[in-house]
Structures are given as C-alpha cells and as structure tokens.
A and B are shown apart, each in its own frame.
Chain A
Amino acid sequence: MKEMAGLRQWVAARRGGFSMKKYGLMIGFIFMGIVISIITPSFLTPTNLLNILRQSSIVGVMAIGTAFVIIGGGFDISVGSLLALAAAMSLKLQQSMPWYIAIVVVLAVGGLAGLLNGVLTAKVHIVAIITTLGTMTILRGLTYLYTGGYPITGSSTEFQFIGSGYVGPIPFPIIIFLAMVILWQFILKKTTLGRYSCAVGGNKEATRLSGVPVDFYHIMTFVIGGIMAAMSGIIYAARLNAATPLAGQGYELDAIASCVIGGTSVSGGEGSIVGILIGVLLLNIVNNMFNLLGIQVYIQYLIKGVIILTVVGFDSYSRHKQ
C-alpha cells in the first residue's frame, strides 16, 4: 500500500514537470506515421523504413553532439564544416596510414575543434553562436586548403563497410546511430558528466557556487559535439566513398532542428538523446513522404520550417505562460 502511494507520488511529480510536451510529440509522431502509411502504401515497407533510418543516421550522430552542446547552454553551428573536414581527412589520411588509425586521428581532430569552441566560449566568453560562426568559417577554409578544392575519393573496403555495409538485413550506419543513442543517453542520465552538463546549462552560476568546476564541463559539451560531428563525417565519407569540400553544408541546422523537435530546450539545461531519434526521423519521414508522393523538393524546405516552428513555438509559448 505504502509502496503504491510512493509510486503514485513519484509519477505525479514527474507529470508536473515538462513531460507533457514529450507525450505530445510522441502522439504527433505516431499520428503522422499512420497518415503517411495510409496515403503512401510503399511507406510501410521494410526497405523503405530502413532507408529512412539510414538517411537519418549521419545527421542523427551529429545531432547527439549538438544536443550535448545545447543542453550545456551553448550552440554549435560549426559541425557541418567539421563534417566536411572529417570526411576529407578520413579518406586522404588512408593514403598514408591504415583506415582504423585514420579514424582515431579524425575523431581526435573533431575533439580538438570542439575544445577550441569550448575554450573560446567558456574562457574567452565569446557568445557560443559567434564562436562557432567563426570556427565554421575556419573549418570550411581548412577543408578547402586540405583538399585543394577537389573531391577526394577512394578508400579501403573495410572502411566502406562503415557507411554501406550490412549486418544481416540492417545497414551498418543504423547500428552505429542506435548504439550511439544508447551510449549517450546513458551518459546523459547516469554519469556525472551528463548531470553536470545539464546543471551548467540550467544555471551555470548556481552550479559554480555548488563547487562544480563548471568551465570544464561547459568545454566538454563542445568536445563531445566535435567528436560526434567527426564521427558523422567518417560515416558520410564511408557511405559515399568520396568527400567534397562542400560536404555537410546545412547539416548543422538539421542537427539543431532534430534536437529541438526531440525535446531539447534551446535555453539549455534539459534534453533527451532518445528524443533526437524521433526528431531526426520526423524530418526524414517528411522528406520521404514527399519523395514517394512525387512532390517538389522545394516544398520540403517549407514543411521542415513549419514543423520546427510549430514544435518549438508550442514549447516556448507554454513555457512563457507558466
């Protein structure tokens, strides 16, 4: 009896928070899925669903890092450029070293780019969006310098497996994406790193006055953002077996949109990695639906924008009402 009362209290307390919007999103997601499967019969085929998931995985992996940055109270628009540099490096480095070492180097470069973003934001106190606007430009420039402006192609078959291999019927990028979602959701919810990242984004000064070395955790969120962007660059290169200096343009916006649709608050402090799964799928399902229906590509941009504004608008307005 007593246990039950305790449980009910716990549930009631949870409900009092911000989970309403989470359920709202789920309902919307399912509703949309039903509508789409009715109007486009080819939507609910395994091939098509796996296709959507695979398309989602590159932005999805990037968005995991972006979510950490936003949860920590920051913002990172340099990840699209970082994807391009990472993709180019992971291919070109293979000309002089084994593919697995190239991957390690590329992930390290991603971490370093994130470190730079973090230090400029947390220590030099440049507003995050401006910091990453600067590094976005720098990273794109570095990519041009590194590639000489030409596409880089060719890699080992082992490396290509990362982007185009299958485990049973399932494309390997999907497995990476899902594994990363599980790993980072665990880190967000069950480790001090995740807890402090949320606290820094929720109220940095109060967290500092609780004796937490806040600058370190603030910087770490950017480092995670950089590593995950580099990882998405590797998948990108392995999938296409090619990298152009223009790769990844606009991906940062899709990553941010996926986070925000997935319930990560733009003002920081709260978020969900599992939510990204929903966010990125939602964006890609819309694309997919329009492709299946044979509707112009340009309209997809409009719809994407409307979805972002609807979800974020609903959230921000209800927050303001409180």
Chain B
Amino acid sequence: MEALLRLSGISKIFPGVQALDGIDLEIGRGEVHALLGENGAGKSTLVKVIAGVHPSDGGTLVFDGRERHFASPGEASAAGIAMIHQETSLIPTLTVMQNVFLGIERRSFLNVIDDRRTRREYLAACERLSFKLPPTRLARELTVAEQKMTEILKAMLRNASFLIMDEPTDALSDAEIEHLFRIMQDLKRDGVTVLYITHYLDEVFSVADRITVLRDGRKVGTRSTAELDRNAIVRMMIGQEIEEGGEFRPRAVRGSEALRAEKLVRGRVVNGISFSAYQGEILGIAGVLGSGKTELARLLFGADRPDAGAIYVDGHLRRIGSPSEAAAHGIGMVPEDRKRLGLVLGHEVYKNITIASLAKFSRGIFISKSEEREAVDRVVKRLSIRIRGPAQAVKYLSGGNQQKVVIAKWLVADKKVLIMDEPTRGIDVGSKIEIHRIMRALADAGACIIFISAEVPEIVRVSDRILVMQGGGIVAELERGATQEQVVHMMLKGNGQ
C-alpha cells in the first residue's frame, strides 16, 4: 500500500510533559486507520500535530510525497487534510449550506454569492455521500450525528483527501454510529483516507483496516485488525510494565459511611445512581468520556441540581443545592478542568489556596494576613508545591503544581469528603505519583476520597474499591485486586446491561 502520510520521530513537548515521544507512523492511501490509547496517551496531540494545530518539536511529516511543516490548520487544510473535532465547529446561526461553504463561498458576477451554483454543488456532494441534509436547516437544530455529517461535507467540498475524526461516535446512538460507519466506507471507496480516534473497541473491528495504539506519548504498535482480537488491543493499551512508584498501599481501615447517594437522576446523563462511600477509603469511579462520571461528581457537590434522588452525609439527609451548601456539609471537589473550574488563574497562589476557607483566617470580615500566610506556607510545604513565592500568579505554574494548588485549597478547608475528578489529567508522572500519595494520606487521616478517572492503570492501582460507570449508570462494583482488563472490559460499550 502506498503511504499517503508518513511520520517519523514526531515529538511534542508541553510545559512539564512529553506529550509525544518519537512517533513513527505510516498511513496508506484509502485506508481507514483507528488510533487508540487511554486518556493522556497522546492521541489528540498527535492528530493535532498532523492537522497543523500544534507545531511538532521534532521529527518529519511527509504528506502526499512531500515533506511538510504545517504552521496552521489553514496550511494543512490547503494540502488536503481536514480535521473534525470532538466539539462541533459549526456556526449555530447559519444554515447547513452556509456552514459547508463558509470561507469558500461560490461567487458569480460582481462577487455576489451564487446561490444556484452553491446549491447545485451541495446537492451533488450530498448525493455522492448519500446524505439527506436539508441545506436550509439551521446548524443549531441539527442532531450530533447531523453535525458530524455537515462537517464531513465541509471537508469534502474543500477537496480533503485525508480526514481526521476525533472520537466521532462519542455522542451518537447505535443507529447513528452504524450510519457513520457506512459513510466512512463510502469515503474510502472515494479514495479518501480516514484516521479516527476512538474509545470503543467494538467499532474498530467493523470499520478500521489497521489500528495504532499509543501509550504515554509513545507508539506501542500498528497492526492490521484482521490479526487482532479485543483482548490483544486491551493488552496493548494497558501495557505489561509494572506501574511506576512501586506497590500502592491499600486502606488501613474502612470507617463509617461518609456519603450515600440514593437514586440520583439528572436528565439522561445520570440515571438513578445509588452507592455508599466510607471514611478512610479511596473509592474509584471509572468510565470512558461521556459515561456520566463528571456529571455525578457535580451532583454530589451541588454544582448541578439533581432531578430526583437524595444525598446523605454522615447518615443525615442533606439538601445540597449549591457548592457552598456542599462545602458547609463537609464536601469538597477538585473539578475536572483545573484551569477553567479549579483556579482563578490570574490570581496569586495564596489567594487560590485560601479561597475555600477564608472564614478560618478572618475576624468578622477582616482577613488576618499572618494566619493566612502561615496556613499557606504549611500546605505548600506539605504538598511540596514548587513556587517562587506565595504571591506568584498560578498561571505561571506547571500543570502538576497547579493541580496541587487546587488540592491544597481543599486540604486547608479540611473537608471530610473530597471528590477528585481526573486529578492527574495532563500532568507529569512524578506529580501524578505524588498526588496519589497525598490521596492515600488524606484517606488514612479519615477522609473519604471519591476518585474519578478514565485512566485505568491509576484507578486500579490507587482505589480501594471501584465503581464502573457506563451510560449514566453504575454497571459494576469491583473490590481492590481487580485487574485492568476487568475494568476496561466493564467500561467499554456492549458489556453493560
């Protein structure tokens, strides 16, 4: 097979993280190629390097026989590479057709937009891909599947020969996924090459010719799907190496019940979840993106309100309608997106650390600077947060240190229940192990840690008990000692109820 895209030694470094480490990859003309790997493995970074979103820090990229250095998505697009992002890039107030032709409007005499020609080309493209998409529908009225179709049309009308899709099936129903796969096959017949990222193993076998698995920014291997089965892929994703940081100590004692959820419901994303969490334990909640983990965490912390269900803290029924009520009942949360939800980025480290516990350092409304300073110095030392001084703005810290600041905030606030949503996402291995140790120490001191992660190795390593979520419900409860394979199987689509 002739190679359309050839990567050799592609590397990418983000501050504090080696996101990609010497990736070699060849993708043949007209191939459907799946890119797999756990969260943080580098899949998204790799496709973004290919599509010109990030420049690479090393290595070469040969596309269509020529060495290329794409400095922007525009340059990659001009060469025939189109990328469909996880989030839609359509403009909600424009029609489907206007979106498809955005930036490549067909013009006639005096530069007026030529509606007839536009419509003719639109319908021709639809026919070629057997799409039924009314051109005058507004983009905001489209379903997720129709949005994807519109984006594919957009790419095709820009004469893309190489189409990248980042988790295209994530929010689709089974029937819609089926349809998308047929489209991929049609594209392939048309000579278009497709590279797509996915979490769902079953799909891989029905559409992909070959797969590549990434782990920790390195390539594990590229195989033809014909020579693989599900288990083999799972093994490639997880790897056989011993986890870094040595054996992780299980809980000392399991105390009394700290938090209990009963039949929590919110929309279609959380469907009647019940569970208990205990003092002294790290309760892991595993699940792929979109399984409802984050939504559950937000309900427990009052960031969103449940449609139905009850939350008990220390055995008492509590009404948790807002984060400040949750905090008053002794619950804290480290949110999934530290930059957007966890920190006031422009503000100083000490202000971020004491924001959840300012009352402790205040007489009435007056803040005692010295007490505040003392508490900050103590927690900075305890978590070994590397800063130039407490007045440094958090935006200048590395990801790991930023995350430690978020954790420090709740440490100082001294909560009995701490919900941690992806606390190690996007941070380096050293900080990750440190954060795991902090979690253990907190639990040993009597706290109840609810640890949410899509990263199976760390969930298996750290948790005393694991709940596996899928489609807004809990599909399994596993005790400590469960293997990564067991957890991954439960997480993936098709094994649920």
Interface residues of A (CB under 8 A from B): 9-10, 12-14, 16-18, 190-193, 195-196, 198-199, 202-203, 205-213, 269-270
Q: Please list 25 pairs of residues, one from A and one from B, whose beta carbons are closer than 8 Å in the complex, sorted by A's number.
A: A9-B388, A10-B389, A13-B389, A13-B391, A14-B389, A16-B393, A17-B348, A17-B391, A17-B393, A18-B393, A190-B366, A191-B366, A192-B362, A195-B358, A199-B355, A203-B343, A206-B342, A209-B323, A210-B323, A210-B355, A211-B324, A212-B324, A269-B346, A269-B347, A270-B346
> B214-233 vs A: 1/0 string, CB under 8 Å?
00000000000000000000
CA distance A190 to B335 in the complex (A): 28
CA distance A193 to B359 in the complex (A): 11
Interchain nearest-CB distance for A63 vs B (Å): 22
Interchain nearest-CB distance for B154 vs A (Å): 29
> B454-473 vs A: 1/0 string, CB under 8 Å?
00000000000000000000
Interchain nearest-CB distance for B481 vs A (Å): 34
Docked-complex contact B388 and A12, CB < 8 angstroms: yes
Interchain nearest-CB distance for B350 vs A (Å): 10
Interchain nearest-CB distance for A11 vs B (Å): 8
Contact A206 B344, CB 8 Å, known A195-B351, A211-B323:
yes
Interchain nearest-CB distance for A244 vs B (Å): 38
Cβ-based interface call for B326 (8 A): yes
Cβ-based interface call for B409 (8 A): yes
Residue of B nearest to A268 (CB): B346
Residue of A nearest to B377 (CB): A6
CA distance A205 to B396 in the complex (A): 20
CA distance A208 to B321 in the complex (A): 12
Docked-complex contact B388 and A190, CB < 8 angstroms: no
Interface residues of B (CB under 8 A from A): 301, 303, 322-324, 326-328, 332-333, 335, 340-348, 351, 355-356, 358-359, 362, 365-367, 369, 387-393, 396, 409, 413
B343 neighbours in A (Cβ, 8 Å): 203, 206
Beyond contacts A17-B391, A211-B327: 5 other A-B pairs, Cβ-Cβ < 8 A, are: A13-B387, A18-B393, A209-B303, A209-B342, A213-B322
With beta carbons under 8 angstroms apart, the residue of B340, B341, B391 that contacts A10 is B391
B369 neighbours in A (Cβ, 8 Å): 190
Contact A202 B333, CB 8 Å, known A10-B389, A13-B391:
no
CA distance A203 to B356 in the complex (A): 14
A10 neighbours in B (Cβ, 8 Å): 389-391
A190 neighbours in B (Cβ, 8 Å): 366-367, 369
Contact A269 B340, CB 8 Å, known A16-B392, A213-B322:
no
CA distance A199 to B354 in the complex (A): 11
Docked-complex contact A203 and B359, CB < 8 angstroms: no
A13 neighbours in B (Cβ, 8 Å): 387-392
B327 neighbours in A (Cβ, 8 Å): 210-211
A199 neighbours in B (Cβ, 8 Å): 344, 347, 351, 355
Residue of A nearest to B303 (CB): A209
B335 neighbours in A (Cβ, 8 Å): 206, 209
Closest 8 CB pairs of A and B: A211-B327, A13-B389, A202-B344, A13-B392, A210-B356, A203-B344, A191-B365, A9-B389
With beta carbons under 8 angstroms apart, the residue of B328, B362, B365, B389 that contacts A211 is B328
CA distance A199 to B324 in the complex (A): 15
CA distance A193 to B367 in the complex (A): 10
Docked-complex contact B345 and A212, CB < 8 angstroms: no
Residue of A nearest to B328 (CB): A211
With beta carbons under 8 angstroms apart, the residue of B342, B347, B359 that contacts A202 is B347
CA distance A206 to B301 in the complex (A): 13
Residue of A nearest to B392 (CB): A13
CA distance A169 to B340 in the complex (A): 52
With beta carbons under 8 angstroms apart, the residue of B345, B365, B396, B409 that contacts A203 is B345
A207 neighbours in B (Cβ, 8 Å): 344, 355
B392 neighbours in A (Cβ, 8 Å): 13, 16-17
Interchain nearest-CB distance for A249 vs B (Å): 34
Docked-complex contact B355 and A212, CB < 8 angstroms: yes
B301 neighbours in A (Cβ, 8 Å): 209
CA distance A284 to B493 in the complex (A): 68
With beta carbons under 8 angstroms apart, the residue of B323, B332, B390 that contacts A208 is B323
Interchain nearest-CB distance for A50 vs B (Å): 34
Docked-complex contact B347 and A198, CB < 8 angstroms: yes
Docked-complex contact B365 and A14, CB < 8 angstroms: no
Docked-complex contact B367 and A191, CB < 8 angstroms: yes
B387 neighbours in A (Cβ, 8 Å): 13
CA distance A209 to B387 in the complex (A): 24
Docked-complex contact A195 and B367, CB < 8 angstroms: yes
Of A13, A14, A18, A196, the most chain B CB neighbours within 10 A belong to A13
Contact A202 B346, CB 8 Å, known A192-B367, A210-B323:
yes
CA distance A209 to B302 in the complex (A): 9
Interchain nearest-CB distance for B375 vs A (Å): 14
Interchain nearest-CB distance for B351 vs A (Å): 7
Interchain nearest-CB distance for B358 vs A (Å): 5
A18 neighbours in B (Cβ, 8 Å): 346, 393
B341 neighbours in A (Cβ, 8 Å): 205-206, 209
B367 neighbours in A (Cβ, 8 Å): 190-192, 195
Interchain nearest-CB distance for B483 vs A (Å): 34
B351 neighbours in A (Cβ, 8 Å): 195, 198-199
Residue of A nearest to B365 (CB): A191
Of B327, B348, B356, B365, the most chain A CB neighbours within 10 A belong to B365
A192 neighbours in B (Cβ, 8 Å): 358-359, 362, 365, 367
CA distance A18 to B323 in the complex (A): 31
Interchain nearest-CB distance for A187 vs B (Å): 8
CA distance A269 to B355 in the complex (A): 14
Interchain nearest-CB distance for A184 vs B (Å): 13
CA distance A198 to B350 in the complex (A): 14
Interchain nearest-CB distance for A106 vs B (Å): 25
CA distance A13 to B376 in the complex (A): 15
Interchain nearest-CB distance for B189 vs A (Å): 46
CA distance A191 to B369 in the complex (A): 10
CA distance A9 to B386 in the complex (A): 12
Residue of A nearest to B362 (CB): A192
CA distance A10 to B388 in the complex (A): 7
Docked-complex contact A209 and B347, CB < 8 angstroms: no
A210 neighbours in B (Cβ, 8 Å): 323, 327, 355-356, 409
CA distance A279 to B347 in the complex (A): 23
CA distance A203 to B352 in the complex (A): 11
Interchain nearest-CB distance for B356 vs A (Å): 4
With beta carbons under 8 angstroms apart, the residue of B333, B342, B365 that contacts A193 is B365
Docked-complex contact A211 and B326, CB < 8 angstroms: yes
CA distance A255 to B341 in the complex (A): 32
Residue of A nearest to B343 (CB): A206
CA distance A17 to B345 in the complex (A): 11
CA distance A209 to B333 in the complex (A): 7
